[in-house]
Structure 1
Amino acid sequence: MREAALPQVPSESEGAMLSVLGTRAFLLYRVDEPEHRRRQEVGAERLDSIPALACLLGLPVGLPVPVGSLPEQTEVRDLPRGAVEWDTDLVTRRAVRPLAVDLVVVRAADPRTGLERAGRFAPFCRRAVLLDEVPCAGLDAIVAEAAFYGIGVLLDEPDGIRIALEPEAYRPLRHTAAAWHFVEELYGRLV
């Protein structure tokens, strides 16, 4: 599966098979090494709270902000250790996403089930479905439906995995605490 997905992702991507969002999926991801090292050096606590991540998204990265100017002063003061740096009455956000998910591949025997499961990852990354069997009839319809949702289609054939449809590039409309939380959960399990 990794070999079939490699043309779709940066060469430095690592792969792992995990149960995520209620389905078993193969994830290709890259750890943000500077952020990983920073977290280790400062003994950062886990960022596993959506409200904390939403608070962080309201702060610029690396720019000191007067705490008194922030409407959510209490939330900023309660952020986990290592997320921000304090200097008297200034706070500077240091935490960023610790990894990037380049592609998620969901394996399925049934195309509809595969598309539904791969669709769960739409808010977070590029996605594809690997079909165990090439449907005798209706491959064009499955590829058309997958294309509508931006999901790639990989076919497991006797001579290897064939790409029937490339996955659409992931372009988030906005950065959300939920998407960051997804990455933090994976980071906690993968690193």
Structure 2
Amino acid sequence: MASVANPAAWCSVRKAALPQVSPESEGVVLSVLGTRALLLYRLDGAEHRRRQAAGAGRLDSIPALECLLGLPVGCRVPVGSLPEQAQVRCLPRGAVEWDADLVTRRAVRPLAVDLAVVRAAERRTGLERAGRFAPFCRRAVLLDEVPRAGLDETVVEAAFYGIGVLVHGPDGIRVALEPEAYRPQRHTAAAWEFVEEVYGRLC
């Protein structure tokens, strides 16, 4: 179940550590990928409104998303030229637009997840959980306190995986290591499915 992130905690995380995240980002706490995380995301208002107006169905299937990725956005394509005609015809309502034997893809990702922050009391648990988001967005771990052995080992290990490190100390939340930028090699149905899951929980 989605919940709006605690305003004070959200402001602290944002102010202390993440100036590179868009000022338009909103925060929500979700249980996703087997862990609870603060997700910072930007809703695509135009796509959201389009889906509402079209009464669009949910896009929650990998085959459907793979089919859509094979279609150009906004271009009319003769359906007879497509190798997966049956899949195109079975796409959820609102994903494509039909005009006789021409099909036009309308669906795009409804939001972008800028960062996932996983809170943890222990380094390894936090890094493992934050690592689950590697295929989908930038990620960071928020430690409840500075490890007894110090931060060096945590920072070195986190840097290897590109995971940011935030520490909740007596003076508030501070950054020990900024998260690595998210640079996907290609757009995948799995990454789009993750976005759709988040969108489905929010809207």
| TM range, smaller chain | over 0.9
- The 3-state SS of whatever aligns with 1:54 is helix
Q: 1:51 aligns with which of 30, 46, 63?
A: 63
Q: Map of 1:9-20 to 2, 5 A cutoff?
A: 9-20=21-32
Quick check: 1:167 aligned with 2:179?
yes
- The runs of at least 4 consecutive aligned structure 1 residues that moved more than 4 Å come to none
Aligned to 1:32: 44
Question: CA offsets per residue over residues 166-185 of structure 1, 9 Å max, x none?
Answer: 00111111111111000001
Q: Following TM superposition, by how much is the alpha carbon of 1:138 offset from its aligned partner in structure 2, in angstroms?
A: 4.3
TM-score by structure 2 length?
0.92
Aligned to 2:76: 64
Aligned to 2:4: none
Quick check: 1:129 aligned with 2:138?
no
Distance 1:79 1:135 in 2: 50
Question: CA offsets per residue over residues 103-144 of structure 1, 9 Å max, x none?
Answer: 100000000000000000000000000000101214111101
How many residues get paired? 191
Question: CA offsets per residue over residues 16-43 of structure 1, 9 Å max, x none?
Answer: 1110100010011011000000001111
Query: Which letter does structure 1 place at the counterpart of 2:119?
Result: R
Aligned to 2:152: 140
Q: Can you give the 5+ residue segments of structure 2 that lack an aligned partner in the other structure?
A: 1-8
Quick check: 1:155 aligned with 2:167?
yes
Aligned to 1:105: 117
Question: CA offsets per residue over residues 88-111 of structure 1, 9 Å max, x none?
Answer: 111000000000001100000000
Q: CA RMSD in A?
A: 0.9
- The 3-state SS of whatever aligns with 1:8 is coil
Distance 1:97 1:189 in 2: 14
Q: Following TM superposition, by how much is the alpha carbon of 1:8 offset from its aligned partner in structure 2, in angstroms?
A: 3.4
Distance 1:71 1:145 in 2: 45
- The 3-state SS of whatever aligns with 2:145 is coil
Quick check: 1:2 aligned with 2:14?
no
Distance 2:60 2:71 in 1: 17
Query: Which letter does structure 1 place at the counterpart of 2:170?
Result: P
Equivalent pairs: percent with the same residue?
80
TM-score by structure 1 length?
0.98
- The 3-state SS of whatever aligns with 1:61 is coil
Distance 1:180 1:102 in 2: 14
Distance 2:10 2:180 in 1: 18
Q: Can you give the 5+ residue segments of structure 1 that lack an aligned partner in the other structure?
A: none
